[in-house]
Chain A
Amino acid sequence: MRWLWIDKFLEFRSGEFAKAVKNVSMAEDQLRDHFPGYPVMPSSLIIEGMAQTGGILAGEAQDFKNMVVLAKLSRVDLTDIALPGDQLTYETKIVELRDEGSVVEAKAFVNGRPLATAEIAFGHVDRSAGSELLNNRYESYRQDMMHVLGVPQRTAT
């Protein structure tokens, strides 16, 4: 199983804004126990989806030279739930971006209705500080997933 809680980017403006979609499917394991007889998309995974949308946006802005690590949820408000068959969209906007970290504002919608808002901070870890194994895994993940998710390729400068 892949730890990916977005299906595809719908919009990607480098260094500014990203919008991703996640379709909630009854086939997903988490809905078996959350909750038995009443499947609801766990809010923690909705937050993870917002963080992945924002984290990839922040990582791409620096050409993935750092590993972007979810470090802090300064604020999260959830006002609705998502059920199997629902479509979630996540919108994230970069509010701070530095070498050592970033902050994004995130919004989640369920079938177009507001579902959640959050402020999410990431720590940026220099990839040269990581092990070779970790770096290789990160690199192959990055190359595979950015293509699949529809992140536009950077043009060489």
Chain B
Amino acid sequence: MAIATREEIFEKVQTTLVDALGVDEDEVSGESTLTGDLGAESIDFLDIVFRLEKNFNIKIPRGDLFPENLLSDPQFVSGGKVTAKGLEELRAKMPWANFDRIGDEPSVQDLFTVDMIVNYVETKLGN
């Protein structure tokens, strides 16, 4: 199979999110945040993982794409904001993600973006 381009991956991720979250295609851009912009709730993250596995034929271990356990740890998240320690941990756990755009103490709901999923899938597909 030919290696998928970033644009192809994005389109498939977009379809995945339209199906999982019931949003319109034009609402899903690379910069959209899953929780803040697209209204994803905790069960949606699992649903998204299931759909990505099926749509891309990849395996996503628990906590690999969305390290939710980390976000329920008070030393990493306080008052809905990710602490400096939390951000450090996220950078280590999610090398594919770019957290530079979100400042020093990002709110949890701004954390995960569509681009992050695209980056992750790219890594998984070996691009």
Contact = CB atoms under 8 A, between A and B. Distances in A.
B47 A123 contact: no
B46 interface: yes
B62 A103 contact: no
Interface of A: 71-72, 74, 96, 98-101, 103, 121, 123
Interface string B40-77: 00111011001000000000001000000000000000
B46 A74 contact: no
A80 B47 CA distance: 28
A98 B44 contact: no
A144 B46 CA distance: 31
A101 B19 CA distance: 18
A121 B47 CA distance: 7
Interface centre among B20, B42, B50 (most CB of A within 10 A): B50
Contacts of B20: 74
A121 B46 contact: yes
A100 B46 contact: yes
A123 B19 CA distance: 18
A72 B44 contact: yes
Interface string B14-52: 000001100000000000000000000011101100100
Given A74-B19, A74-B20, A98 B47 contact: no
Contacts of A121: 43, 46-47
Contacts of B19: 74
